[in-house]
Amino acid sequence: MRPDILNPLFTPTETLEGVGPKLAKPLNRLGLGRLRDVAYHLPERFVTRRAVASLDDAAIGEQVVIALVPIEHQASRGRGPYRVLAQDDAGNICALTYFGRASYSAKKLLPVGEKRWVAGRIDQYGQMLQIVHPDHVVETGGDTLRRLCEPVYRLAEGLTQPKLANLVAQALEKLPDLPEWIAPSLLDRMQWPDWADALELAHQGVNAAARDRLAYDELLANALALALVRADNRQKKGRSLTGDGRLRDRLSLPFPLTGAQTRSIAEIEADLAQESPMLRLLQGDVGAGKTVVALAAMLVTVEAGAQAALLAPTEILARQHFETLRRMTAPTGVQIALLTGRDKGRAREGTLLGLMDGSIDIVIGTHAIFQDSVNYRDLGLVVIDEQHRFGVSQRLALAGKGRRTPHTLAMTATPIPRTLTLAQYGEMDVSRLDEMPPGRQAIDTRVIALDRMDDVIAAARRHLAGGQQAYWVCPMVHDDDTNELAAAEARYAALREIFGADVVMVHGQLKSEEKDAAMERFAAGGAKLLVATTVIEVGVDVPSATLMVIEQAERFGLAQLHQLRGRVGRGAEKSTCLLLRGEMLSETARDRLALMRETQDGFLLAEEDLRLRGGGELLGTRQSGDTPFNVATLEQIQRLLPVAHDDARMLLDRAEAEGATGKKGAALPGERGEAARILLYLFERDFGVRTLRGG
């Protein structure tokens, strides 16, 4: 239950003055449904204005505040702007220009002959100076325009800066007095303000200490939640699984394991032998050989008399895993079944029965394997492929499936930098496959200007003529961006003109059956060229695909590019990756693409990606899209997360030493514990508290 003290922060934004149904939509789009969200909607930047006495003093492009007297309103016919000519104290004239609907307010705000404070940016308009859509127009009597430094917020259509600033001010008025959750010594050393002060300061101007404190709060909440899950997991009852090697010995792998595979398998086996359930993440680049490691873990489980389940993010991947594993385990006699949402009727019944009576040892599938109707005789191990598609809460739901908590092995091919691994998977132990199986051919990677399309088409023709296949990726940042979808479809049409019916397309707006059908045709070799938005990211294994074309490569993150590139280079043939770039490249973008050409080490690319994106963040414009954080920027994550983790561990160790974690509701004892609990709810990371209490 959320502590009462937080109630004011979680009241709906509609309760603020001046918020009607009209504002609901833009507020929702910005995710500002509650006062808490409004208070944490931190400025993207600030404008600093200069008060000038006369237009003569203002430079073109400068942000100013100036007293002006409107002298004439000029409505234009048709679609032209609405202009108000106004005069400063020295008699200089400028135009205040309004487009569209904004002109209605101009009529009211600027009565002829009455002096007003006007704030805005000075522009040149022919011979005259003008201010387009002044930021503020107020009566000169009040002192409203004293503030020369103003926050600029991210907006949505239907909201204005003053309106939003007003809501923020109201929200800040209502901040409760919360107890301090940061250790006094740290607060002191960093010279950070209190929570409420930090919020106010962060809205008032550039303030690194305030911003850091707010970011730290979020990082600490996350670290604490993960540490709680971890502590909770340690107390859960699982079962110790040890194999006798009888199944693994019968596996005839056509290759020796790499050192990294052997090491990871040993780490997993040691975990499985423990009574407390394993929570381990297997990180390994595309092609690093995670499947064999997972198989080894599943065989140990079966040798120990229990069942294993492998959860894949998509139907196709489930099917591919099923085929691969069935082939590999053929000599062992292990019973493997596939269960997806598509299976209906008799076949499904058979599988369910087999899982219940234990005649099926290993089941592979999508979410369907964890529906309520699926019961296991003795589920000992859950393997989750492509973990990042699943949230923490889902992981916890899975853990509740058996009478005893099964061991969990998560796998990801997303090479996450170490700091972010901590943020995202801090409750897990990590095994890294940082060594590729021998004999992999390097993928020939080139950066090419988009206007050399003829060369690119020629390359595609060569690959297809050689009986190989190709991917062609178009960027689509938002699933609902119709322009980007149109561009991708235009490319598809153009490629069909050239290559005919061999071309298929998948994108985010297709139904999943349509997507699967196209992917399957490509995987089976029926289609030669697959045009796709990034839905193939967590994709299929098609060894005869040897060309990857990525349009507007500069718009993708390095980690994403690397993942896409990893779709090729899986067979015996030499593979190529063409990164098509637009004309206007920033220096960072150029560096990133160059790095793609130079290395194929996913972990290195991930670290560099973070470094390149992390730099250049001044006021913390949020670029941390793929992190679990809203307040903390990449730079702050790197700098402050390790501190937060130590702090969280310390808090938990103290709690454990006081014997509190086992007792219901007493997870975090003491005053600081209570404060920490409030923090968890403030950032909605309370799943940590809940698991502890639920037991």
List of residues contacting ligand ADP (CB under 6 A): 255, 257-258, 261, 284, 286-292, 413, 437
Per-residue burial over 164-192, b if 16 or more Cβ lie within 10 Å, else e, is bbebbebbbeebeebeebbeeeebeeeeb
- What does the H/E/C string look like for 604-649? HHHHHHHHHHHCCCCCCCCCCCCCCCCCCCHHHHHHHHHHHHHHHH
Quick one: tokens of 692?
A: 């502890």
Distances (CA, A) of 476 to 91, 347, 590, 691: 53, 38, 20, 38
For ligand ADP, the closer of residues 207 and 291 by Cβ is 291
Q: Work out how close the CB of 293 gets to ligand ADP at its nearest, in angstroms, rounded to a whole number.
A: 8
Which amino acid, one-letter code, is at 149? Answer: C
Q: Work out how close the CB of 151 gets to ligand ADP at its nearest, in angstroms, rounded to a whole number.
A: 46
Q: Work out how close the CB of 524 gets to ligand ADP at its nearest, in angstroms, rounded to a whole number.
A: 18
For ligand ADP, the closer of residues 258 and 560 by Cβ is 258
Q: Work out how close the CB of 565 gets to ligand ADP at its nearest, in angstroms, rounded to a whole number.
A: 13
Quick one: tokens of 203?
A: 């809205």
Q: What is 60-122 written as a DSSP string?
A: TT-EEEEEEEEEEEEPPSTTPPEEEEEE-TTS-EEEEEE-TTHHHHHHHH--TT--EEEEEEE
Q: Are strands 336-339 and 362-365 parallel, antiparallel or unpaired?
A: parallel
Quick one: tokens of 76?
A: 């234009």
Distance from C-alpha of 669 to C-alpha of 254, rounded to nearest angstrom? 55
Which amino acid, one-letter code, is at 344? Answer: K
Q: Work out how close the CB of 568 gets to ligand ADP at its nearest, in angstroms, rounded to a whole number.
A: 13
Q: Work out how close the CB of 383 gets to ligand ADP at its nearest, in angstroms, rounded to a whole number.
A: 11
For ligand ADP, the closer of residues 15 and 262 by Cβ is 262
- Contact present, 206 and 48 (Cβ < 8 Å): no
For ligand ADP, the closer of residues 32 and 338 by Cβ is 338
Distance from C-alpha of 569 to C-alpha of 565, rounded to nearest angstrom? 8
Q: Work out how close the CB of 284 gets to ligand ADP at its nearest, in angstroms, rounded to a whole number.
A: 5
Quick one: tokens of 250?
A: 């019968």
For ligand ADP, the closer of residues 88 and 267 by Cβ is 267
Q: Work out how close the CB of 569 gets to ligand ADP at its nearest, in angstroms, rounded to a whole number.
A: 11
For ligand ADP, the closer of residues 567 and 685 by Cβ is 567
For ligand ADP, the closer of residues 243 and 287 by Cβ is 287
Distance from C-alpha of 39 to C-alpha of 196, rounded to nearest angstrom? 10
For ligand ADP, the closer of residues 253 and 650 by Cβ is 253
Torsion of CA 164, 167, 171, 173, to 10 degrees: 120
Q: Work out how close the CB of 646 gets to ligand ADP at its nearest, in angstroms, rounded to a whole number.
A: 32
Q: Which residue is nearest to ligand ADP (CB)?
A: 289
- Contact present, 11 and 30 (Cβ < 8 Å): no
For ligand ADP, the closer of residues 37 and 537 by Cβ is 537
Query: What is the CB-side half-sphere exposure of residue 127 using CA atoms within 13 A?
Result: 2
For ligand ADP, the closer of residues 324 and 599 by Cβ is 324
Residue carrying the six token digits 């394993």: 278
Q: Work out how close the CB of 256 gets to ligand ADP at its nearest, in angstroms, rounded to a whole number.
A: 6
Q: Work out how close the CB of 270 gets to ligand ADP at its nearest, in angstroms, rounded to a whole number.
A: 21
For ligand ADP, the closer of residues 135 and 434 by Cβ is 434
